[in-house]
Amino acid sequence: MTNFSNQAILNWQAFLELKGQNSKDRRLHDFYHAGTYHNETPLSDIEFVALDFETTGLDSQKNSIISIGLVPFTLQRIFCRKAKKWYLNPKDKLQEDSIIIHGITHSDLQDAPDLLLILEQLLNELAGKVVVVHYRHIERDFLDHTLRMLINEGIVFPVIDTMQIEANVQREKSQGLFNFFKRKRTESIRLANSRERYHLPAYAPHDALTDAIATAELLQAQIKYHFSPDTAIKNLWL
């Protein structure tokens, strides 16, 4: 499976247009044809959607998505009334250690649908917006691999990764001779730890919708502290 980055794809608009032309699935065709923003579009003009998955494990090749949460937002506002959450029927068994983490049990998933049943609705919520995640290798890789297994066609789209932003910020802070001699260590970039540095409230972790809202709030704070509403989207998406 190919993992794309902003180094590999310099023009997401053109890339998604090409993907739309070549897609054989109507739902993916419509998703790609919704397009995305020009590289120079300022963040203040962007419609975002924060996306979070809960999974049966961390390996997109072996594990499954069991819950999806999303919420649309801008730099000024989070639209909680438009938030969505789904439970999904996994292809592999729930493991005891993952149940302890996310609290989702077999009874929660007993009548849960297959991803295909909610795929069109999910893609409609994402189409035309910039997807925001905290660790892109979960949401983008899991969705890509799952669709390859279900419809024999994967998916790729630009994302802003708040974990990557925080990693870059912390790496920059830890550099320099002063920090070297102080043996200053890089801070944790987990979602909760990252939020704490911006004085954001603590939320119960590992609920897909709660984590999506937490990710949206984190990006708003990161842009306020480290960027500007006039920053071009090309500087953040991957």
Q: How many domains does the chain have?
A: 1
Q: Is residue 3 part of a domain?
A: no
Q: Is residue 5 part of a domain?
A: no
Q: Is residue 4 part of a domain?
A: no
Query: Is 70 exceeded by the pLDDT of residue 98?
Result: no
Residue 218 near residue 200 (C-beta atoms within 8 A): yes
Q: Is residue 6 part of a domain?
A: no
Q: Which residue has the higher pLDDT, 45 or 3?
A: 45
54, HSE (Cβ side, Cα atoms, 13 Å): 29
Q: What's the pLDDT at 75?
A: 98
Query: Is 90 exceeded by the pLDDT of residue 4?
Result: no
Residue 44 near residue 130 (C-beta atoms within 8 A): no
- What does the pLDDT look like over 117-175, one tens digit per residue? 999 999 999 999 999 999 999 999 999 999 999 999 999 999 999 999 999 999 888 77
Q: What's the pLDDT at 2?
A: 38
Query: Is 70 exceeded by the pLDDT of residue 96?
Result: no
Q: What's the pLDDT at 185?
A: 67
pLDDT, average across residues 98-121: 79
Q: Which residue has the higher pLDDT, 102 or 78?
A: 78
Read off the tokens for 141. 């890789």
- What does the pLDDT look like over 80-90, one tens digit per residue? 999 999 999 98
Segments forming the whole domain that contains residue 128: 12-235
The span from the CA of 227 to the CA of 109, in Å, is 41
Q: Is residue 175 part of a domain?
A: yes
The span from the CA of 208 to the CA of 70, in Å, is 8
Q: How confident is the model at residue 3 (pLDDT cuts 50, 70, 90)?
A: very low
In Å, how far are 8, 88, 146, 235 from 152, measured between CA atoms? 23, 19, 9, 32
pLDDT, average across residues 174-182: 60
Q: Is residue 207 part of a domain?
A: yes
CATH number at residue 50: 3.30.420.10
pLDDT, average across residues 42-51: 98
Q: What's the pLDDT at 104?
A: 78
- Lowest-confidence pick of 20-34, 92-106, 184-198: 92-106
Q: Is residue 2 part of a domain?
A: no
Name every residue whose Cβ is closer than 8 Å to that of residue 196 and which is 6 or more positions away in sequence.
202
Read off the tokens for 189. 């970039």
